[in-house]
Structure 1
Amino acid sequence: MWRDGDFRRLWFGQTVSQLGEQASMVVLPLFAVLALHASAGQLGALRAVGQVPILLLSLLAGVWVDRWRTRTLMVVTDAGRALALGAAAVAGLLGVLGLPALLVVAFAVGALSVFFDVAYQTSLVRLVERDQLVRGNSALEGSRSAAQIGGPALGGALMSAFSGPIAVAAGAVFFAFSFLSIRRNSRPESIRQPSERRPPRLWRQIHEGVRFVAGDSSLRTVCLASAAFQFSFAAVMTVYLLFLPRDLHLSGTAVGLALAATGPGALLGSLLAARLPSRFGYGTVLVSAAALGDGVFLLVPALHGSPTTTSAALLTVNFAFGTFSQLVNVTVMAVRQTVTPDAMQGRAAATINFVGMGTTPLGSLLGGVLAEAWGTRVSLLVMAACMLLSPALMALSPLARLGRTLPAPPEAPVPVA
């Protein structure tokens, strides 16, 4: 697999793209908090605007991915994100990057990321055989973990050492490198064409994808558990980005390093995901890893003391969260890709993203509202407890009974009239 030049370029492009995305996810909120003095409600709105494209565009992205080459979508979205962040950096240097402009940039980057994420999740199925999916996903998710190490640390360090516009420009540079890498892929992609002379209508294809996911017990549970987790986690992260600099008095560099600790943990989780499901069973790994990864966030609201002490504790918490959450991510992706026919890969991924990630804008807004009404510590405790609903849903579903091997995918569903 690693001898395949197209896979290597996909791996490299996805890695640097994730590095730019992770840096931007720290830079834009910190710029709003530290430079623009955004309130809790404004920070929640900024994060929600960047996440609402998931709700608006995920299903459309799934249809486009099933119709087009994934390479085309990935290079176009990388170019668009580089241009958006580049324009924001120029605006910042000119002193005209206010909160309204930041909202526009967050929405543009979020919208393009929806299409990139669905495309890259589908591209692996078109590059490797099904018996290599777990290994391939482990490699891709391992590179994403490496990006999680460098991205937040880079964003926080640049915000502390230089200025917000320089930090924003760093994200644009990484998206440009991803564009240059992925555009070199030349392998033809097998895209199943409809039997009709005309392609099916857009909403008809979306309905097929939704019906397929809703009809499969494992994928249906993934949707519900993901929605519960993402809603609660979005609220937690909004409060978290206020809690670290304002309550724990951490610098931008310390915030970036604390967030970056999820990276080495996620790298370990990716390595474990290549071995543990086949040894202990997919269901056992999913439920136990989700419970451990989500439960560790209950420790964060109790943190007090000097920045040195709290930073060390946050590194430990985020490392554990990164390990177990990445173990869940890789295992879930392998389940989804294995039980889904090739012709439905894009729409299945988009439907799960739509249901799971579509709740994040509401979660981000709720986090800002709760932080203003209850304070950061109480809000963190309540929303961290809500994260445990996700492993509870998996434990009560057929997903928990998956064994050491996954079932073969069914035939592609017959198109609806």
Structure 2
Amino acid sequence: MPSASSGSSDSSDSFRPVPSSLRRDADFRRLWLGQTASQLGEHASLVILPLLAVLTLDASAGRLGVLRAVGQAPILLLSLFAGAWVDRWRTRTTMVLADAGRALALGAVALACLFGRLGMPGLFVLAFAVGALSVFFDVAYQASLVRLVNRDQLLRGNSALEGSRSAAQIGGPALGGALVSLLSAPIAAASGALFFALSFLSIRRIRRAEAVPKRPEHPPGVGHRIHEGLRFVARDRVLRAVCLASAAFQFSFAAMMTVYLLFLPRELHLPGTVVGLALAAAGPGALLGSLLAARLPRRFGHGTVLVCAAALGDGMFLCVPALHGSSAATVPALLAVGFVFGFGGQLVNVTIMAVRQAVTPDGMQGRAAATITFAGMGLAPLGSLSGGFLAGEWGLRTGLLVAAAGMMLSPVVMAFSPLARLGRELPAPRGGPTGG
């Protein structure tokens, strides 16, 4: 891939994405720090908003499912548009605007809590706003690395950035749960706004120009660009398998998490702080997964790592319905489940992202990422609603078991797809449109 031209006085005209040079590069540090703060705010808010609904507004299982579905609905509604947008504009600009908007939205939650005006309708609106802006940030984040590093370094670059996301997974849920439980709802919401503001300040200081794909003299309309992205992904066997596996996982994971957030405080009688710790346990596992993600696929093959890591991580939640009460073994068991899930999930995330970026032409990166997000995470709102239904109709324990079993569909899909046959080297880019 052509390297990005420098917009500063740095003597180097491109990223040289080996770990040591990435650490020395000022613009990469700004991206890394901004992404870490943004992910910390996102993971904290994913716990803060549902716990606010459950503990402060006494939301039922159905309402919690609706809240999570509303927050995830923008993935289904806006992903394809976001992909077409990102392929024509600077990812830095998109991420900065998304961070500013999310900071304002969570600030509004904090003010509503402070003045006693927070209700479920307002929480629905603000959750939708945060989710919509997160769609644009995530699509831009996935496309940004490809414009800044060489293709043969994508695995290492993704491993470095995913490591920061792992660090956010460690602190975000624990921070969110602790603030809601120990301090106050306004402080909990304000903490998320603060992290998004920090990300805004860091990313906006990036000076290096991006290698944005050249626009044609008469660019096609948004609908045409979206159709190009859909057609490109649908015709590629590897990317089509990624979509199917992602859809199976995201639907079942959304259902499982809806039940899980009710199961821990109501069935196991755990306080908010412990709930946050149980969720944060995925962070250390994900950090280990990030460290090994640049090595294991090159040793055992990308396909083997994908299938085994998905089966190991997703299968751990089948153990949770067997737990009873807040016994001495309950919390360590939950921590172990979270750790292994984080480890396997991060191996899958880094490897899948590297495969997707490797087979996609530069001018299709945003649309390919958005199409896969649309096809996969677009089912998350339906999964959240299904989780609320399962919890309400079948009970928390049975509902959790059914949702956890559904997560095993993802490694099964991978095992019977071209993904399982990927070797030690990343596949070559496919042909496709390169302009916007």
Class of the TM-score when normalised by the shorter of the 2 chains: over 0.9
Determine whether 1:405 maps to 2:418.
no
Cα pair 1:278 1:404 within 8 Å, conserved: yes
2:406 to 352, 365, 386: 386
- Rounded to whole Å, the distance in 2 between the matches of 1:406 and 1:138 is 15
Is the Cα–Cα contact under 8 Å of residues 269 and 325 in structure 2 kept in the other structure? no
Counterparts of residues 161-310 of structure 1 (less than 5 Å) = 161-195=182-216, 197-310=217-330
How many residues align? The count is 415
The Cα shift of 1:29 comes to 0.3
Asked if structure 2 preserves the Cα contact closer than 8 Å seen for 1:145 and 1:264, the reply is yes
Once the two structures are superposed, the pairs formed by residues 16-415 of structure 1 within 5 Å of their partners are: 16-195=37-216, 197-413=217-433
Q: What per-residue deviation string (whole Å, max 9, x for no partner) do you get for residues 42-90 of structure 1?
A: 0000000000000000000001100000000000000000001001101
Q: Secondary structure at the match of 2:197?
A: helix
Letter in 2 for 1:289: A
Asked if structure 2 preserves the Cα contact closer than 8 Å seen for 1:250 and 1:307, the reply is no
Instruction: Report which stretch shifted further, 168-177 or 198-207.
Output: 198-207
CA distance in 2, matches of 1:229, 1:78: 27
Partner Cα separation in structure 2 for residue 206 and residue 160 of structure 1: 44
CA distance in 2, matches of 1:278, 1:266: 19
AA matched with 2:415: A
Residue 415 (structure 1) shift: 8.1
- Let me know the Cα RMSD of the aligned residues: 1.2
CA deviation digits over 1:226-247, x for unaligned, max 9? 0000000000000000000000
Contact 2:363 2:435 in 1 (8 A): no
Corresponding residue of 2:12: none
Q: Secondary structure at the match of 2:369?
A: helix
| Shift of residue 307, structure 1, vs aligned partner | 4.6
Distance 2:434 2:117 in 1: 53
Cα distance in 2 for partners of 1:383, 1:78 equals 32
Gap runs ≥5 in structure 2: 1-21
Contact 2:282–2:338 (CA under 8 A) maintained in structure 1: yes
Query: Which residue number in structure 1 is paired with residue 19 of structure 2?
Result: none
Report the TM-score when normalising by structure 1.
0.98
Amino acid at match of 2:142: Q
Given that residues 7 and 127 in structure 1 are in contact (C-alpha distance below 8 angstroms), is that contact kept between their aligned partners in structure 2?
A: no
TM-score normalised by the chain length of structure 2: 0.94
In structure 2, C-alpha distance between the alignment counterparts of 1:348 and 1:116, rounded to whole Å = 15
- Aligned equivalents of 2:349, 2:40: Cα separation in 1: 18
3-state DSSP of counterpart to 1:67: coil
3-state SS, counterpart of residue 186 of structure 1 = coil
Measure the CA separation in 1 of the matches of 2:267 and 2:204. Answer: 45
Give the Å deviation of 1:309. 2.4
Once residues 124 and 264 of structure 2 are traced to their aligned partners in structure 1, the CA distance between those partners, rounded to angstroms, is 22
Distance (Å, rounded) in 2 between the aligned partners of 1:414 and 1:40: 46
Structure 1 counterpart of 2:185, one-letter code: G
CA 125–32 in structure 1, closer or farther in 2 if over 3 Å, else same: same
Shift of 1:325: 0.6
CA drift at 1:411? 3.2
The C-alpha deviation readout for 1:72-124, integer Å capped at 9, x for no partner, is: 00000000000010011011100001111111110000000000000011111
Structure 2 CA distance, aligned partners of 1:269 and 1:229?
A: 18
Check the 8 A contact 1:258/1:315 in 2, yes or no.
Answer: yes
| Distance change (3 Å), C-alpha of 1:194 and 1:271 | same
2:320–2:334 Cα contact (<8 Å) kept: yes
Matches of 2:55 and 2:435, distance apart in 1:
52
Q: Distance in 2 between matches of 1:379 and 1:414?
A: 45
Counterpart residue type for residue 99 of structure 1:
M
Supply the distance in 2 between the matched residues of 1:300 and 1:216 (Cα, whole angstroms): 37
1:166–1:334 CA distance, 2 compared to 1 (3 A): same
Q: Which amino acid aligns with 1:377?
A: R
What's the counterpart of residue 14 of structure 1? 35
Q: CA deviation at 1:191?
A: 1.8
How far did residue 414 of structure 1 move? 7.7
Task: Report how far residue 377 of structure 1 moved.
Answer: 0.5
- 2 CA distance for matches of 1:12 and 1:31? 28
Residues 138-181 of structure 1 deviation map (CA, whole Å, 9 limit, x = unaligned): 01111100000000000111111111111000000000000000
